[in-house]
């Protein structure tokens, strides 16, 4: 059963959290206004600073957790430890003050801005999964459905060569834009920008822009809430995609 104190299906005050990568991203929105947004590289783990930064953000706006209409959290894929921390804290805040909760694909949040800026393109979001693989999802803006973000390929892990083949296939019919860590870390993906691939481009994002943004988490979370797609605090879990080391070890 979904925990929810407030019934307005268009939440105004949204706290968004993403800890899927080494960059800890937080945002606080009131309607379309971004009140607070911070991106911070974490040296060790998210747990030591996340609650304190949330408290400072709310205090700066003279708000408390109980003033929120929605908590949106990136549920991955990404770092196992980071995801556990972020989702756990989001659930604890939601449970304590009965704030509606929604989980958002971190890859979708990466794709969001590029899809809005390039409505005819397919946007491939990537996060480094190591072992010469990436976590990836393919998205596009559905202009026939109030510009909702449409899933073309669901979130998964892919070897770089396999993903390259898929993107070249898609590029035969529409422009493709790649965002995130993949093209900046792996030569196989960067090579897809070679001359002659006229319909294919990889966005050359600055390092700070190639990480998930909690603002996008907030916007996508609000859209999900408006569509009635809230998550139950007792059942929301990170989307690891890969099994954790404990699952591998103990079966």
Q: How far apart are the first and last CA of the chain?
A: 30
Spatial strand order in the sheet of 13-18:
33-41, 23-30, 13-18, 70-74, 101-104
Instruction: Region of 235 please: left (phi>0), alpha (psi -120 to 50) or beta.
Output: alpha
CA distance 200 to 182: 15
For the chain, what is the mean pLDDT? Answer: 87
Residue ranges of domains in the chain:
13-105+212-250, 107-209
Q: pLDDT by residue (tens digit) across 92-103?
A: 999 999 999 999
Q: What is the dihedral of CA 6, 7, 9, 12, to 10 degrees?
A: -30
Answer yes or no: same fold for 13-105+212-250 and 107-209: yes
Least confident of 89-98, 160-169, 206-215: 206-215
Nearest to 39 by CA among 13, 65, 63, 16: 16
Sign of the alpha-carbon torsion through 204, 206, 212, 218: negative
Q: Please write the tens of the pLDDT for every residue from 219-245.
A: 999 999 999 999 999 999 999 997 654
- How far is residue 192's CA from residue 183's CA, in Å, rounded to a whole number? 9
Structure tokens at 241: 């995609």
CA atoms within 13 A on the CB side of 1: 5
CATH 3.30.420.40 assigned to 107-209: yes
- CATH class of residue range 13-105+212-250: alpha beta
pLDDT of 72 above 90:
yes
Tell me the pLDDT tens digit for each residue of 101-152.
Answer: 999 999 999 999 889 988 999 999 999 999 899 999 999 999 887 779 999 9
Against a cut of 0.75, is the pTM above it? yes
């Amino acid at each position: 059963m979904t925990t929810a104190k407030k019934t307005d299906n268009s939440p105004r005050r949204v706290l968004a959290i993403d800890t899927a990568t080494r960059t800890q991203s937080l945002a606080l929105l009131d309607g379309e206004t971004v009140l607070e947004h911070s991106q911070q590289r974490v040296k060790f783990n998210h747990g030591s600073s996340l609650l304190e930064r949330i408290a400072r953000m709310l205090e700066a706006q003279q708000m408390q957790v109980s003033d929120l209409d929605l908590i949106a959290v990136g549920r991955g894929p990404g770092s196992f430890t980071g995801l556990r921390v972020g989702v756990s804290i989001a659930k604890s805040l939601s449970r304590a003050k009965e704030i509606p909760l929604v989980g958002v694909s971190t890859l979708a949040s990466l794709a969001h801005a590029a899809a809005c800026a390039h409505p005819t393109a397919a946007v491939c979001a990537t996060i480094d999964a190591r072992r010469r693989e990436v976590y990836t999802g393919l998205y596009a803006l559905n202009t026939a459905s109030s510009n909702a973000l449409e899933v073309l390929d669901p979130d998964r892990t892919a070897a770089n060569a396999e993903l390259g083949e898929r993107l070249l296939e898609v590029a035969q019919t529409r422009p493709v834009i790649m965002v995130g860590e993949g093209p900046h870390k792996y030569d196989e993906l960067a090579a897809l920008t070679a001359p002659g691939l006229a319909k294919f481009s990889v966005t050359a994002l600055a390092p700070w822009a190639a990480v998930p943004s909690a603002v996008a988490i907030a916007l996508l979370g609000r859209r999900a809430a408006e569509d009635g797609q809230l998550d139950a605090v007792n059942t929301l879990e990170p989307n690891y995609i890969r099994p954790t080391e404990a699952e591998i070890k103990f079966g």
